[in-house]
């Protein structure tokens, strides 16, 4: 029976419900509990009228979805994208509930979005849009209520405007209301590297268990944005060999290894990694099927499907992107013995660093870069082994994702039971 909620029929939401039901089946959860878990606690839709530089007013629609607060205040980013829908925002907020529960940090799940192409706005228009959106949701966010952060096409400057707008409304500097702020106003410098750092870290730990070590192992990375570039940097720092990378213009491959610092330079100067000299040009599809030890999809969703999964040669896949592997492909890879470290574990470094930032904002003290990265390293290493061991012990007939979901959903359900919600 459908509830009539406006996100109900969107495919992205239906996929998330399918994943939830799989975890519920493993845990033996009854249908009524699944029904409680599949809906967000609250979704606010707001109208954002922006005075454009040409004098006309453009109206944008934004949302904030607060999926579940059993484990703490809602936490999750805000996305600016022309294709954002209410269903996407609700789905992402549900995934944040599981990611934060699995991370073992005291947060529930939330997510926001505005349907806008920010590349078409001037800096002044973007600032007006951002301030008005945050003012419109100010009543439902707060340091102890709901703590946003960046997502696709939002950045530390936008977080600074959010922080300032909220602080003006409340009439005090509300450091902890958003994370991934610029370091001068309460952010942590390692936030920028933290997601890619975590993706490389869990690959490193899996390689120690399954491949006899990380050093000298070959790595291919799809996407060279915030996540991909730092996953590459730390893979090399920890002794692996990055042999292929790509971006939206295509990929490059050199079996002898790529110079990652040179790749940063080429990407920043020319806009694409394909201008790196001396490597073989490959397509994004070819990159996924290369004969490498470790693959890190760090760009888009649904790139590993039932079509290409049989051809994948990597032994470990560490998912930096959200949702890069379809459920069908996940099962094919599991049958082939490939370890797929699921997104809610492999890309949690960003939200963990946000939690470190938030907790120190609340205490009024600032960490050094080394202290912050050291905490992230210890917590993610612990979390990887916790999920891996539980997978091996209880769920080894299923992909590793099933174990991650089961642990996360179980934690949320136990908190809801203790609080008397179910
Ligand atoms: P980004 O915009 O910085 O980089 C995206 C990269 O993907 C770019 O290099 C772009 O050229 C490339 N790309 C775009 N279209 C492509 C295509 N068709 N084929 C191959 N490459 C393509 O984004 P990001 O922050 O690095 O995020 C990447 C993924 O990681 C997204 O799925 C995002 O949701 C997820 N993620 C990001 C964070 C974070 O902290 N940044 C945290 C968790 C998850």
pLDDT (tens digit per residue) in 113-153: 999 999 999 999 999 999 999 999 999 999 999 999 999 88
CA of 32 to the centre of ligand 1 (A): 36
Using pLDDT thresholds of 50, 70 and 90, give the confidence band for residue 387.
very high
Q: How far apart are CA 307 and CA 229, in angstroms?
A: 27
Q: Is the CB of 225 under 6 A from ligand 1?
A: yes
Domains observed in the chain:
42-175 (3.40.50.10860), 192-348 (3.40.50.720)
Using pLDDT thresholds of 50, 70 and 90, give the confidence band for residue 367.
confident
CA of 151 to the centre of ligand 1 (A): 10
Using pLDDT thresholds of 50, 70 and 90, give the confidence band for residue 302.
confident
Residue nearest atom 15 in ligand 1 by C-alpha distance: 248
Query: How confident is the model at residue 2, as a pLDDT?
Result: 81
Q: Which of 75, 99, 111, 315 is catalytic?
A: 111
What H or E segment, with its residue span, contains residue 339?
strand 339-341
Q: Is the CB of 320 under 6 A from ligand 1?
A: yes
Using pLDDT thresholds of 50, 70 and 90, give the confidence band for residue 203.
very high
Pocket test of ligand 1: the residue of 192, 227, 249, 264 to mutate, having most ligand atoms within 8 Å of its CB, is 227
Q: Is the CB of 322 under 6 A from ligand 1?
A: yes
Q: What is the mean pLDDT of residues 259-286?
A: 97
**For the whole model, what pTM was predicted?**
0.94
**DSSP states of 130-193:** HHHHHHHHGGG-BTTTEEEEE-TT--HHHHHHHHHHHHHHHTS--GGGSSS--GGGT--TTHHH
CA of 225 to the centre of ligand 1 (A): 5
For the chain, helix (H) and strand (E) counts, in that order, are: 14, 12
Query: How confident is the model at residue 115, as a pLDDT?
Result: 98
CA of 357 to the centre of ligand 1 (A): 23
| Residue of 107, 197, 95 whose CA lies nearest to 148 | 107
Q: What is the pLDDT of residues 391-411, one digit of tens each?
A: 999 999 999 999 999 999 999
Question: Mean pLDDT, the chain, as a whole number?
Answer: 96
Q: Which residues are within 8 A (CB) of 226 and not within 5 positions of it... i.e. 6 or more apart?
A: 192, 195, 196
| Residue of 355, 67, 317 whose CA lies nearest to 199 | 317
Query: How confident is the model at residue 327, as a pLDDT?
Result: 87
Q: Three-state DSSP class for 255?
A: coil
Q: Is the CB of 167 under 6 A from ligand 1?
A: no
Q: Is the CB of 299 under 6 A from ligand 1?
A: yes
CA of 85 to the centre of ligand 1 (A): 19
**Is 115 marked active-site?**
no
Strand order from edge to edge, sheet including 339-341: 280-282, 250-253, 241-247, 218-222, 294-297, 316-318, 339-341
Work out whether strand 241-247 and strand 250-253 pair parallel, antiparallel, or are unpaired. Answer: antiparallel
What ligand 1 atom has the least distance to the C-alpha of 347? 43
Q: Quick one: tokens of 71?
A: 């484990």
Residue nearest atom 19 in ligand 1 by C-alpha distance: 248
Q: Which residue has the higher pLDDT, 328 or 145?
A: 145
Q: What is the mean pLDDT of residues 276-303?
A: 96
Using pLDDT thresholds of 50, 70 and 90, give the confidence band for residue 5.
very high
Q: What is the pLDDT of residues 147-201, one digit of tens each?
A: 999 998 899 999 999 999 999 999 999 999 999 999 999 999 999 999 999 999 9
Q: Is the CB of 153 under 6 A from ligand 1?
A: no
Q: What is the mean pLDDT of residues 256-279?
A: 97
Q: Quick one: tokens of 351?
A: 């939200």
Q: How many residues does the chain have?
A: 422
C-alpha distance from residue 394 to each of 210, 390, 413, 414 (Å): 18, 6, 19, 19
Q: Is the CB of 412 under 6 A from ligand 1?
A: no
Query: How confident is the model at residue 339, as a pLDDT?
Result: 98
Is the pLDDT at 349 greater than 90? The verdict is yes
Q: Is the CB of 327 under 6 A from ligand 1?
A: no
Query: How confident is the model at residue 51, as a pLDDT?
Result: 98
CA of 72 to the centre of ligand 1 (A): 28
Query: How confident is the model at residue 1, as a pLDDT?
Result: 61
């Amino acid at each position: 029976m459908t509830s009539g909620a406006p996100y109900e029929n969107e495919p992205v939401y239906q996929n998330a419900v399918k994943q939830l039901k799989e975890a519920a089946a493993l845990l033996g959860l009854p249908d009524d509990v699944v029904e409680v878990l599949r809906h967000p606690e609250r979704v606010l839709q707001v109208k954002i009228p922006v005075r454009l530089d040409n004098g006309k007013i453009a109206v944008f629609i934004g949302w904030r979805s607060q999926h579940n607060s059993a484990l703490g205040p809602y936490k999750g980013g805000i996305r600016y994208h022309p294709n954002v829908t209410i269903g996407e925002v609700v789905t992402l907020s549900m995934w944040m509930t599981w990611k934060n529960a699995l991370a073992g940090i005291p947060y529930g799940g939330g997510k926001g979005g505005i349907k806008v192409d920010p590349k078409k706005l001037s800096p002044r228009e973007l600032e007006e849009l951002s301030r008005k959106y945050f003012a419109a949701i100010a009543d439902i966010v707060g340091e102890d209520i709901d703590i946003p952060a960046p997502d696709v096409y939002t950045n530390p400057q936008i977080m600074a405007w959010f922080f300032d707008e909220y602080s003006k409304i409340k009439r005090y500097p509300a450091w902890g209301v958003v994370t991934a702020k610029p370091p001068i106003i309460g952010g942590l410098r390692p936030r920028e590297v933290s997601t890619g750092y975590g993706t490389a870290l869990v690959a490193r730990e899996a390689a120690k268990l399954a491949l006899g070590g990380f050093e000298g192992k070959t790595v291919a990375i799809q996407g060279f944005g915030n996540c991909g570039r730092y996953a590459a940097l730390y893979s090399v720092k920890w002794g692996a060999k990055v042999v292929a990378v790509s971006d939206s213009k295509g990929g490059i491959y050199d079996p002898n290894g790529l110079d990652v610092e040179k790749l940063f330079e080429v990407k920043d100067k020319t806009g694409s990694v394909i201008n790196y000299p001396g490597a073989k040009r490959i397509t994004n599809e070819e990159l996924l099927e290369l004969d490498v030890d470790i693959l890190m999809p760090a760009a888009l969703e649904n790139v590993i499907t039932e079509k290409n999964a049989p051809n994948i040669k990597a032994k470990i896949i560490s998912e930096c992107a959200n949702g890069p592997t379809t459920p069908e492909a996940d099962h094919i890879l599991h049958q082939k013995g490939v370890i797929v470290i699921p997104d809610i574990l492999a890309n949690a470094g960003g939200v963990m660093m946000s939690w470190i930032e938030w907790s120190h904002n609340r205490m009024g003290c600032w960490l050094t870069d080394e202290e912050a990265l050291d905490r992230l390293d210890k917590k993610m290493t612990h979390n990887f082994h916790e999920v891996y061991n539980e997978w091996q012990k209880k769920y080894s007939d299923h992909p590793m994702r099933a174990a991650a979901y089961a642990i996360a959903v179980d934690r949320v359900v136990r908190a809801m039971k203790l609080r008397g919600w179910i």
